[in-house]
Amino acid sequence: MNKYINIHSHTYCDGAIIVLNCYPNEIQNALSENNARYYTVGLHPWYISDEYEIALAEIRLTASNPSILAIGETGLDKLCSTPMLLQEKVFKEHIAIAEEYQKPLIIHCVKAYNELIRIKNELNPTTPWVIHGFRGNIQITKALLKAGFYFSYGQNLSYLSESLLLIPSDKLFLETDDKAILIEDVYAETARLLSIELKQLQNLVLQNFEHVFLKKA
Ligand SMILES: [Zn+2]
């Protein structure tokens, strides 16, 4: 097994295990090119259009594929122009697909953590929910931990160290997202902030990846 695991990337590169994020209109091609082994598929709140049902149908069509490890990214974003009611409706459709196929959810959340917690408590889902690109403060982190979320960190880690230090080792993931950063650097910075050996961090993220995404015991 590779030493670095990048659970949310928009581009493929060698040297790490990459979970490649695809939009619904990209997923068929991505699966047939098969350069990454693992994918997620979801309709980002920024890209919800009148034709969102077509995108959801595409997600349903591919969700059972074993290379698709999770549903998303999907979620809530108060800074985008899509109305919140529609965002919530589309988000809940993703949640239903994740539940049906028993796959984790990769969540994009901007300034909507209260709504996110409300929805999770309301629906009581059985699959893990991972907040990607997490940037919340201590108070938000504590509330999300209480609600049982997983967290994935990427850019600007040093600004987030207080939150990072609150995360139990079995709830932690790392990623590059669409940023021009290296997963190796994200690992090095995380290990430094947590005051643990790189190898220890690699082992714990690997364990989490196997447990949450590959469903090993
Ligand atoms: Zn992303």
- pLDDT at residue 1 tops 60: no
Give the model's pLDDT for residue 81. Answer: 94
What is the pLDDT, as a whole number, of residue 34?
A: 72
Question: Longest C-alpha distance within the chain, in Å?
Answer: 49
Q: Output the CA 200–ligand 1 centroid distance in Å.
A: 26
Would you call 92 exposed, middle or buried from its count of C-beta atoms within 10 A (0-12, 13-18, 19+)? middle
Which has the closest alpha carbon to 110: 73, 147, 161? Answer: 73
Instruction: For residue 80, name the pLDDT band (cuts at 50, 70, 90).
Output: very high
Asked whether the beta carbons of 153 and 189 are under 8 A apart, the reply is no
Distance 132 CA to ligand 1 centre (A): 7
Residue pLDDT, tens place only, 177-205: 999 999 999 999 999 999 999 999 999 99
pLDDT at site 35 = 72
The predicted pLDDT at position 217 comes to: 67
The closest of 150, 42, 50, 145 to 96, measured between CA atoms, is 42
Cα of 30 vs centre of ligand 1, distance in Å, is 16
Indicate whether 2 pLDDT > 80: no
The span from the CA of 130 to the CA of 172, in Å, is 9
- Average pLDDT of the segment spanning 5-26: 92
Instruction: Quick: pLDDT tens for 159-172.
Output: 899 999 999 999 99
pLDDT grade for 33, boundaries at 50, 70 and 90:
confident
* Distance from residue 106's CA to the centre of ligand 1 (Å): 9
pLDDT digits (tens, 9 = 90+) for 127-155: 999 999 999 999 999 999 999 999 999 98
Residue type at position 24: P
Segments making up each domain of the chain, as ranges: 5-212
- The predicted structure's pLDDT at residue 15: 82
CATH classification code of 5-212: 3.20.20.140
Q: How far is the CA of 174 from the centre of ligand 1 (A)?
A: 12
